[in-house]
Structure 1
Amino acid sequence: MKKIHSILLAFITIILLAPHASAQTAFTAEAEAARVDDIKFFVENFYYGDIPENLHAMTTIDEIMGALDEYSRYMSADEYMDYVAAVGADDVALHNLTEPAVTSAMLYGDIGYIKINTFSNNMDKAVTKHYSNLKKQGADKLIIDLRYNGGGYVESAEELLGHFEGVKTAYEMKTREGTTTVKPVQSKIKFPKQTYVLVNRYSASASEIVAASLQDQNAGIIVGERTKGKGTIQSFFEFEDGSALKLTIGEFTGPKKSKIHKKGIAPTIDCEHDQELSIIHARLLKDSLAQKKYKQVDDLQGVAADKTFHIHFTQKMNLNEANTSNKVELIKVGGVAVPISLKPNGTDMLDIKPLKQMQKGGSYFLVIHPGFANDTGRTTKHGIFTPITVK
């Protein structure tokens, strides 16, 4: 019974004591007592926390579980099999089994965006593939989204950290046997030095390993909300009937021993809930436009979703389609340029209308590029932009 075989899951180690049975068998009083004794043994030898003073007097599984931390629990064979199937799947997220573990998109401004829903078994291969495709499309900046990511394989977190310049240590792991320093799995494929990582109150476990490691080593910029604060490590001790004990056996911290458990990671850039992507994309757009010497004009708040915008020039302009079609863009913050129609309104005004209604509550940038020609052939030299918020 004491033979141990380990399988690392996300933030978890699974320890097998016997082969799987097809289903859980009903407990006899004798079997129940034996199971209680086994659980007491594991609590006494592996539990990372305060061991209940009256542990030896406890006679039921529920009584023992009620005296341990919130992350320790006993799972039936069916519950355990469902859990392992979900966490072990390569292409599913724990919170949504129909959603891919990794997705990506190109945002306006040559910004790559990679969303990681869970740290699945082959997550790093998927991330590498997505990042390579983004680079082929011209991405020179990167946003990685770990919002709502509750964890997964700890090895995948170590692999993700290996893509960041300057990460020498992944995390510190403390158990009853002492502290272990865990290194990242280094990769030849490196992310941009100023990579932004989005987190929120639901980012936990392996997500927090990544956030703490990057923050402690100044290797990435953490954007969003304080993370959940789930900094403990659980192991599964499996029994001969297929049931299992999920038991807290340690705690992880950042490389500089920054505490995660019950505290979480405070972001470098604070954002309101679910505004993280919009805020950082808007900041990157403003920085990019400022470098090109574009000037901000106005800040339109609470505009209608079907708003028609008007550009008024101070002189007569040549506003035919050939001169205007590529000089105006309406950019969805957190996305790409949206289709618009351009229509001259006299010789000194241009009407701009989105071909589809803008998203209610969404943010946009109206960008006017240089190169507009007046009726004598002279062209505008500087671009302008206007931030827009839709009511």
Structure 2
Amino acid sequence: MNASKWSARLERFLWSFLLACGSFALQFDPGFPERFLKSRKHVLYCIAMTMAFAVGTPSVMVWIYLYGYIGFFPTETIMVAVQLCCIYLFMIVVNVKLLLNVDSLRSSLNDLFALRNTIRQKWVCNSGPAREYAQLLIFKIVVVDVVLLVFSLVTFYMTLDHRPSKAHVAVGACFSVFRYIITAFSNLYLVGLMIAILIQELINTKLTSFIKQCDEQFHATLHDLYMMHCKTAEVEKQFMSIMNLPVLLLNCWYFLMIVTSVYYMYTSTMLEIKVQDLGVEDIVKYLNALTFFLYLCLQLYCIVAIPAQYTERSKKMCSILNTINRQCQSQRMERLLELIMLDCMRRNYSVTNYGLYEMDRTLLFGIIATVTSYVIILVQFHIQEYG
């Protein structure tokens, strides 16, 4: 099976899962052209699911808190309670946000799919970008989202000193489902940007092929490619305006969870050392915590790194155009290239979140520093209170 079929199947799985959860009031039509359809039935279903979640989840959360998990220390128990509240608020807010913007979301996604189909059909491009897109999608949805999360859940029950009850298994499954739904929201945002990256990389690939054969026939092709680039940038801005609030909440969620998981690893390790010597067999118990920590870090890395990749691919087009300009002999082509390059340089390709910060790799260093500071504060508080 080729890359495009793998990516198409994973995309359809994501759309179907979000629709089943009542978080995505659009149905994907895999025909030609690929597009999203909105119907009254899907909107009413999503409204009903959101209301059911808003009413039914508090009782489930109380049951989880009372019977599912009590921390080793009061601070840890409080952090678990905060985690439950964040899950509830996050899912309600994001569901309502996507329902209110369902028409804009449908328009943005349909435009992205139309641009991708157009550039695939109009120009014969290298399959490398499509293969890279499929590999990234498989890594994110299959390896990070499913394998790591399931492995973390399985290792948790394997390291218990007693056989887990049905209630504990239900609690673990419930937590995993909640976490995967949140992951699906991040995938909606990431897939939109990854399609924009794919389009831009296909444009760059086509432009690169003209470096050594710049002629008059390239004039019309260059104009079409740049118009497609401008449309992609416009759709990306529109898509991000819809996803700003979900992305902000996702960043806060994964930041909180990383701090919580590090604090949990510290407290559980200190408790084990106090009770008995820490041996090799005890270290195995922390495989669950380490796996979940890796899962959280990879999620946050993807949320930040993929927008940065889009920015880099968009800016790369300027250097390709500059190379073509040096090779070109036609004055008409030189004038067109200069106009395009001037317009390209004045554009801001950075992906921002409400204009508060840019989603780039610099943000990762800031997050790492902030997480470290919060963990140090929690550890110092723990040492003062419990020794």
TM-score when scaled to structure 1? 0.29
TM-score (norm 2): 0.29
Higher relative contact order (CA 8 A, sep 6+): 2
* Greater C-alpha Rg: 1
